[in-house]
Chains A and B, each alone.
Chain A
């Protein structure tokens, strides 16, 4: 089953056209890795999917569970189940992490016609996930990302993912700035979410993360297009020959 279907997408940021007729389909239960050289359009692709304000869509379409989403507001897409783990999570001073997360979860539950969680119920849920991720209990009371180390920020992104239980999960350079312990904790969190229904889009510059999260497909992105799709064996080839080698061989 296809969860996200990107068709011939053309998009620009400012005056610069970055996506040039990109096609990509994400399958339920699969991990798709997007690799590509700097400036290929990797982050732009993730922005286009979540409806970032920088983007202007020039052509093509994005379907999520069969419905076009390019006219939808960012929050609607989120409520429908599309989640982006940010490369650089922004700091929001004074906003309590638990309060923020409960607000987000309850917005989603409301959208799904479910009952909202009260503070006690939510804290129980949050504490469970904190333990799993090896995060300290003070993550409940600290301000959202404020003064967090690089590793804490990324773990906090994964915490949000675990709590919000989205269906399409985009991980933008989730491994950047992580030490080996954090990388392991983050990967475990992600692997736990693999349940045969969700799709993962792992955007990465390096193959290191793919030792921890086993990809089903590797897509090579260059000049705003997917230029090659293959199985996980492509990782080794990329390591050896680099992007140029692979693309020239096409």
Chain B
């Protein structure tokens, strides 16, 4: 097959590149103590939060941007970014949310009016630096579930925030996490009390809208003993020629017998085929299985961003705790992804599963980087890792860096890795049965991702499939 024909088949248009035409309050570019005080003030934060932010900022100034990832990008000028942008109108309730925002969310497939929503899904809608609305909060509070923006949580639940924020991802964890600790703006806070199975799917939809701003979201989810929650996040951004920085931190904590299922569909603007524009996505996500028999499961479908640097991890501290990582990462155009996970086994009989599927097309570069670490007291720890790469065309690349550190010799670690090309034979087989080329590529790719998609909640699995199609297929001929 002609390679440019294949390229055409895999350079889907970015469909969410529109801009929401609203008036925005934007802080002038630049980062210093004043910027941080400005953010803290805009958010009506208590003094202790500002102090923590300033502490993080002082630390950040002494750190260096890491460059161990297999990523090639123009250096980020942190002084040229604006660190706060918010729709001008501050809504008190959904009735006051700018209709243009509601319209934009509808366009993204997320109606914010509760009666119009998919049954059983609560949404936190974040535009640039602020959460504009959170649905079903009242309904959820009847079950003792707290679902609100992190800004609200800092004001309304300071004890919980003080106890858990920075407990999984320390303030000085890494360059981007520390930057986030200083300048984070909004994100979601979830608390599931003891014994409660959260009655609906929780979700946050992040939208970058303003020009030249960074988005620094921070999410914290706590599942008390015996509780369960399934949380999903989605994201998108307008089509722009400039790169925009997104540096998020997500912390999860599960107590004894609790479970958090965290799913991401990441569709930030990927830039064009020459690498112009696109989001720089530097994210730290980590879950702590604090209690025995607890479980954290990460599922991610990464189709967007020009640069992705992201390793959702599990610290398996409780005995018999379980960590899972299911990932589909797609790099097409000139996208680069360096993603994977860390499974840190500390407790006895802990087990982890890693299923990573990388798909590269056009000039896309896809790297899996994963660490399985088995501590001295983690007797009988088990890990199963499977990393598969699929190449479409001949200008793309796939790389796999699995690391293993084991202090326990009884543990069981299995690693399998494959790299395959969508072969001309596979395509031809399907075409000989009357299936056109575009459908044939999509069928092969979906087959490749099946193990991961089957982990997503139903509605999101459908969305992920459609998104993958859009990203990879576009129009043939």
Contacts and interface: CB of A to CB of B under 8 A. Distances in A.
Contacts of B428: 52-53, 74
A103 B439 contact: yes
Interface string B424-440: 11101111111111010
Interface of B: 1, 423-426, 428-437, 439, 443-444, 446-451
Nearest to A99: B443
A100 B434 contact: no
Interface of A: 50, 52-53, 73-75, 78-79, 83-84, 86, 89-90, 92-96, 100, 103-104, 107-108, 111, 143-144, 160, 164
Contacts of A104: 430, 433-435
Contacts of A164: 433-434
A74 B447 contact: no
Contacts of A78: 431-434
A108 to B, nearest CB: 5
Interface SS of chain B: helix
Contact of A94 (B423, B432, B447): B447
B434 A107 contact: yes
Contacts, number: 71
A94 B448 contact: yes
Contacts of A96: 447
B217 to A, nearest CB: 33
B271 to A, nearest CB: 29
A73 B447 contact: no
B433 A94 contact: no
A8 to B, nearest CB: 25
Contacts of B433: 78, 100, 104, 107, 160, 164
A92 B429 contact: yes
Given A94-B447, A100-B443, A107 B435 contact: yes
Given A53-B1, A53-B424, A86-B429, A95 B435 contact: no
B281 to A, nearest CB: 27
Given A53-B424, A90-B423, A92-B426, A74 B446 contact: no
Contact of B429 (A83, A90, A93, A94): A90
20 contacts: A50-B432, A52-B428, A53-B428, A74-B431, A74-B432, A75-B436, A83-B432, A84-B432, A92-B426, A92-B430, A92-B447, A94-B450, A94-B451, A95-B444, A104-B434, A107-B433, A107-B434, A143-B447, A160-B433, A164-B433
A75 B435 contact: yes
Contacts of A89: 429
A96 B424 CA distance: 19
Contact of B431 (A75, A94, A143): A75
A90 B423 CA distance: 9
B477 to A, nearest CB: 10
A78 B435 CA distance: 9
Contacts of A111: 434
Nearest to B451: A94
Contact of A92 (B424, B431, B434, B444): B444
A83 B448 CA distance: 26
Contacts of A50: 432
A100 B444 CA distance: 10
A153 to B, nearest CB: 11
A10 B425 CA distance: 23
A99 to B, nearest CB: 8
A161 to B, nearest CB: 10
A156 to B, nearest CB: 11
Contacts of B447: 92-96, 143-144
Contact of B426 (A73, A74, A79, A90): A90
A148 to B, nearest CB: 13
Nearest to B425: A90
A89 B268 CA distance: 39
